Structure 1
């Protein structure tokens, strides 16, 4: 994007930018702020007053949040593909290792997420039910979902050229961007580049949101233990929620097969430095 305006702000605990050819009008920015605030009120486990925080304390039944069905249906699909490695009730496992609402980063013993989460957590009609208290964490795809919501609002407001960047989860419309695939162990380097146009690119790395010895935010829900085979993943899809979900799934067996079923291209880097990519990947990878 040549001549453009950049709006930078903090949301859901990370840095965002929205690039557009001209500054967004005040009412459009206010709508974006409201979308983000509403999402946080429902899904942030770092807020005492959120819907998921209330369910973590009491369980029970609440009115179905607007994005629950879309996100939880996709969790169901990713859970099946990864044989239980990705699970929306991973929140208590993350908190036990120190990634809690207070950001204590005081690691304890790993704890698996409930393997029967689909029996405990139900969403249908206008209700969301959780049989027993547990912490829902939508981090595997929630940021991508929010990027999609913000992008949809821009389109509805008549903005047809933009790039939304939520710290590595990007969605572009009407603009072609060449994106560097940041080396997970050296942010001054890239392992390659990829062209993004009218689509979403989401990345995940074990070196982001990492603390302590070997502790980071990507856990295997079956064990509660941080993954060790892969260091970083990138997925390119039509929308950010699917790209985000795939960027998580690619840390596990079954992720590449799910990507093939969705027709999504991807790149991932092992912790030993080897790089893998999908057969249809258009990324230019450096030797």
Structure 2
């Protein structure tokens, strides 16, 4: 496999393919990543979503946003409001916002209801989506957005004829090809250790861990949007699914709700590790954990 790397949306990316990625494809990947960041970043004052935080109203987003917003609709319902893209304001209240103050600005605050405050629809010009908030709100797509961008990069390369492709954006990966890939599940309390190894082939693997973005005692990026409080019962999750957007969203949702509720609507395999060291996993993952 041939590989090249780049940094984007706050993480290091590695793209591996059966033959070297040509210049035109690399430029197309860079353009896609730049478009995604310009649309969704809550750290940029010029992003498409930025005006919604100041005054509400309507933002025009790329057409692929529909799949992401539809997933958020489903996950907000399944988690009873605990997973909610309007959690961005709650994150900023705790210090995780533009400028990276990393100091709480006050007590935790619950996010507005996504189902009540937000609506979206296909819009013109063609292949765009209009997202409307009836009040100011900071949208954060981090629960599934990086996974969607992994999918979009993977799709761009596979449609250009690359047969074996691995797109790895930190904890989110998508694989295709004849040869599988063995991936270690990083221990959330020891980056140099693993709790198991999973075989990844023609699927996506996404992980989420409270220690990945933490900036103070008990402060990290996985919040219960209904309270604005960081989740403390679960330390890390891993999800295998058919695409990275779904795997990423479910990895976040597993911090917030019972896997059985998610399994009623989604097909996936998972491991979640609790803060006390216990592990819960789907039947297909029983053999991947170290004893």
1:72 to 2:74 alignment:
no
Q: For 1:133 and 1:75, how far apart are their aligned partners in 2?
A: 19
Instruction: Output the TM-score relative to the length of structure 1.
Output: 0.96
1:242 to 232, 240, 246: 246
Count of residues paired in the alignment: 283
Q: For 1:256 and 1:15, how far apart are their aligned partners in 2?
A: 33
Instruction: Output the TM-score relative to the length of structure 2.
Output: 0.94
Q: Which moved more, 1:196-205 or 1:168-177?
A: 168-177
Q: 2:157 maps to which residue?
A: 154
Deviation of 1:64 after TM superposition, in Å, equals: 4.0
Q: Where in structure 1 do 4 or more consecutive aligned residues deviate above 6 Å?
A: none
Tell me, yes or no, if the aligned pair for 1:68 and 1:123 is still in contact at 8 Å.
no
Deviation of 1:142 after TM superposition, in Å, equals: 0.3
Q: 1:109 maps to which residue?
A: 107
1:214 to 2:211 alignment:
no
Q: What 5-or-longer segments of structure 2 have no aligned partner?
A: 124-129
The 3-state SS of whatever aligns with 1:182 is strand
Deviation of 1:58 after TM superposition, in Å, equals: 2.2
1:136 to 2:139 alignment:
yes
The 3-state SS of whatever aligns with 1:234 is strand
The 3-state SS of whatever aligns with 2:85 is coil
Tell me, yes or no, if the aligned pair for 1:56 and 1:134 is still in contact at 8 Å.
yes
Q: 2:282 maps to which residue?
A: 278
CA displacement, residues 140-194 of structure 1 (integer Å, 9 cap, x when unaligned)? 1000000000000001111110110000100001031011000000011100011
Tell me, yes or no, if the aligned pair for 2:18 and 2:162 is still in contact at 8 Å.
no
Q: What 5-or-longer segments of structure 1 have no aligned partner?
A: none
**Closer/same/farther in 2, CA of residues 80 and 69 from structure 1, 3 Å limit:** same
Deviation of 1:260 after TM superposition, in Å, equals: 4.9
Q: Which moved more, 1:48-57 or 1:229-238?
A: 48-57
CA displacement, residues 58-93 of structure 1 (integer Å, 9 cap, x when unaligned)? 211233432322111111111111111100100000
The 3-state SS of whatever aligns with 1:203 is strand
